């Protein structure tokens, strides 16, 4: 029998927020394997584990505290400095190493990633990672078949190695801009493939998009109570989706508010929930609050509901999604998205989920990369910049009445890349046999 370990990639991510895990999980599921974390056993040595824990705690603390008005502003500047991305135009050589690139190189010289490299050499498996450091460490060790899935629409120089022109890494990017950025950083064009972001198969349904189309057809009816949008493009809707489900007429839309993995922006619920009380009580709107894996965020949501006089609506128009670990959260969140009509979130990796035909209400970005994500979604027509949270019930009602949210859902489906999962799997499957350096 063939050695299956040489055929199945090692899928590696890091738990720093949800973004890298959210990209890795559908890939691992499709490959019939598990997601291994570069910062945890069995891929990490004891010293590395403590280092990663400190880095993760520091990043998450800065992300959360930077959202505090006034006092958080200096930390916002720190976060912007860490995630800085220079202007792309005019096109020019941006390959010079930054402080972050040199810092990662110093850590690699101190044997960062030693356990990962040993595992790859032992199994002969390809590496498929959604974080830059495993790819760079493996490339530095002379390993072939190293695939790096980029998780933002534009990226910092740290995603490319010290000597980018000599890299063996195959970059799989979610946007054309990310491809141009890597070329500006010195990565050869032939090492870059535009794929799109790996969206969950459970929400796409395969290259024919049956699940996506079914969910979108129902969503468009709920998002367009006046029929304003549907009257504007009847032929297009019929061509791509067929007949829309009449049974969805009159059903309330579901607004899902999701905070990031670091818990940033959870406090916004206290501002917007009171305004929605009447609509939820009258059955005109439903709300889902996504706390993820953080009990403190769930507690904050429940307190906000209490203050808004909406405690009794939990289970009757309001729901809270809280999970004990990422796998449970990921599965339940995907199930929630299948029936979500509007996704209100910061412009993290969830920006790419606009391709599912879910209109995005985009909260203020946390970091420079999220500013680019927000711009990418808005340019594609799928994202709308949030207005003042206190008055969300008013501007959201207007967007529903005007068909603006339905239009954003349709634009996301038509303009944003939907096939990332399948294109990435195809790219990995076509890789030649590994040649492992001694």
* Contact between residue 39 and residue 48 where contact means Cβ atoms under 8 Å apart: yes
**Helix (H) or strand (E) segment spanning residue 322:** strand 318-322
Exposure b/e, 149-180, CB count within 10 A at least 16 = b: bbbbbbbbbbbbbbebeebbbbbbbbbebbbb
Q: Give me the percent of the chain exceeding a pLDDT of 70.
A: 87
Would you state the pLDDT for residue 438? 35
DSSP state of 389: G
For residue 62, pLDDT over 50 is answered with no
Q: Looking at the chain, which residues constitute the CATH 3.40.50.2000 domain(s)?
A: 201-416
CATH value of 201-416 in 3.60.20.10, 3.40.50.2000, 3.40.190.10, 3.40.120.10: 3.40.50.2000
Non-local CB neighbours of 176 within 8 Å, separated by 6+ positions: 194
**Helix (H) or strand (E) segment spanning residue 129:** strand 127-129
**Poorest-pLDDT segment among 22-31, 125-134, 261-270:** 261-270
Rounded Cα–Cα distance for residues 45 and 119 (Å): 12
What is the tens place of the pLDDT at every residue in 72-119? 444 344 444 556 899 999 999 999 999 889 988 988 888 888 889 999
What is the tens place of the pLDDT at every residue in 374-420? 999 999 999 999 999 999 999 999 999 999 999 999 999 999 999 99
Would you state the pLDDT for residue 256? 98
The alpha carbons of the chain give a radius of gyration, in whole angstroms, of 22
Question: Which band of pLDDT confidence, cut at 50, 70 and 90, is reported for residue 57?
Answer: low
Q: How far is CA 200 from CA 9, 22, 160, 207, 380, in A?
A: 18, 9, 26, 12, 20
Would you state the pLDDT for residue 425? 97
285 bridge partner residues: 253
Q: How many CB atoms lie within 10 A of CB 125?
A: 21
Would you state the pLDDT for residue 66? 44
Reduced 3-state DSSP string for 257-306: EECCCCCCCCCHHHHHHHHHHHHHHCCCEEEEEEEECCHHHHHHHHHHHH
What are the start-end ranges of the H helices in 35-151?
Answer: 46-65, 73-82, 99-109, 114-123, 132-140
What is the tens place of the pLDDT at every residue in 288-342? 999 999 999 999 999 999 999 999 999 999 999 999 999 999 999 999 999 999 9
290 bridge partner residues: 258, 321
93 bridge partner residues: none
What is the tens place of the pLDDT at every residue in 162-207? 999 999 999 999 999 999 999 999 999 999 999 999 999 999 999 9
Non-local CB neighbours of 212 within 8 Å, separated by 6+ positions: 203, 204, 205, 356, 357, 413, 418
Would you state the pLDDT for residue 116? 93
Would you state the pLDDT for residue 56? 58
Question: Which band of pLDDT confidence, cut at 50, 70 and 90, is reported for residue 40?
Answer: confident
Q: What is the pTM of this model?
A: 0.91
Mean pLDDT of 352-380: 96
Would you state the pLDDT for residue 76? 45
Place of tokens 């989920």: 353
Would you state the pLDDT for residue 75? 39
Would you state the pLDDT for residue 21? 96
Q: 309 is written with which tokens? A: 């006089």
Q: How many CB atoms lie within 10 A of CB 89?
A: 7
Would you state the pLDDT for residue 264? 66
Rounded Cα–Cα distance for residues 4 and 432 (Å): 15
């Amino acid at each position: 029998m063939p050695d299956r370990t040489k055929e199945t990639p090692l899928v590696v991510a890091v738990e720093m927020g949800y973004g890298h895990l959210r990209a890795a999980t559908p890939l691992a599921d499709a490959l019939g394997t598990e997601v291994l974390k570069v910062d945890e056993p069995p891929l990490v040595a004891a010293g590395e584990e403590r280092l990663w824990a400190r880095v993760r705690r520091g990043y998450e603390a800065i992300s959360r505290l930077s959202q505090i008005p006034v006092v958080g502003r200096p930390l916002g500047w720190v976060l912007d400095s860490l995630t800085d991305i220079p202007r792309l135009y005019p096109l020019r050589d941006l390959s010079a190493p930054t402080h972050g690139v040199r810092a990662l190189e110093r850590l690699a010289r101190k044997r960062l990633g030693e356990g990962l490299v040993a595992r790859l050499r032992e199994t002969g498996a390809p590496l498929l990672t959604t974080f830059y450091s495993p790819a760079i460490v493996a490339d530095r060790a002379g390993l072939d078949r190293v695939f790096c899935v980029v998780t933002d629409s534009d990226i910092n120089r740290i995603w490319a190695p010290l000597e980018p022109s000599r890299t063996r890494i195959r970059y799989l990017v979610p946007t054309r801009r990310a491809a141009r950025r890597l070329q500006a950083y010195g990565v050869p064009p032939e090492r870059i493939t535009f794929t799109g972001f790996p969206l969950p198969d459970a929400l796409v349904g395969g290259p024919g998009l049956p699940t996506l189309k079914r969910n979108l057809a129902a969503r468009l009816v709920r998002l367009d109570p006046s029929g304003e949008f549907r009257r504007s493009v009847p032929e297009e809707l019929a061509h791509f989706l067929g007949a829309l489900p009449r049974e969805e007429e009159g059903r309330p839309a579901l607004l899902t508010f999701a905070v990031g993995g670091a818990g940033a922006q959870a406090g916004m619920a206290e501002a917007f929930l009171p305004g929605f009380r009447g609509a939820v009580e009258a059955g005109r709107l439903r709300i889902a609050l996504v706390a993820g894996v953080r009990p403190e965020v769930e507690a904050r949501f429940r307190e906000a509901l209490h203050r808004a006089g909406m405690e009794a609506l939990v289970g009757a128009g309001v729901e809270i999604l809280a999970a004990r670990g990422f796998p449970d959260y990921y599965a339940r969140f995907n199930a929630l998205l299948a029936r979500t009509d509007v996704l209100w979130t910061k412009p993290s990796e969830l920006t790419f989920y606009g391709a599912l035909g879910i209109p995005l209400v985009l909260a203020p970005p946390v970091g420079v990369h999220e500013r680019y994500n927000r711009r990418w979604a808005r340019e594609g027509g799928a994202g709308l910049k949030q207005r003042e949270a206190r008055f969300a019930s008013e501007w959201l009602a207007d967007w529903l009445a005007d068909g603006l949210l339905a239009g954003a859902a349709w634009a996301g489906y038509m303009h944003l890349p939907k096939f990332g999962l399948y294109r990435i799997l195809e790219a990995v499957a076509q890789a030649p046999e590994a040649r492992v350096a001694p």
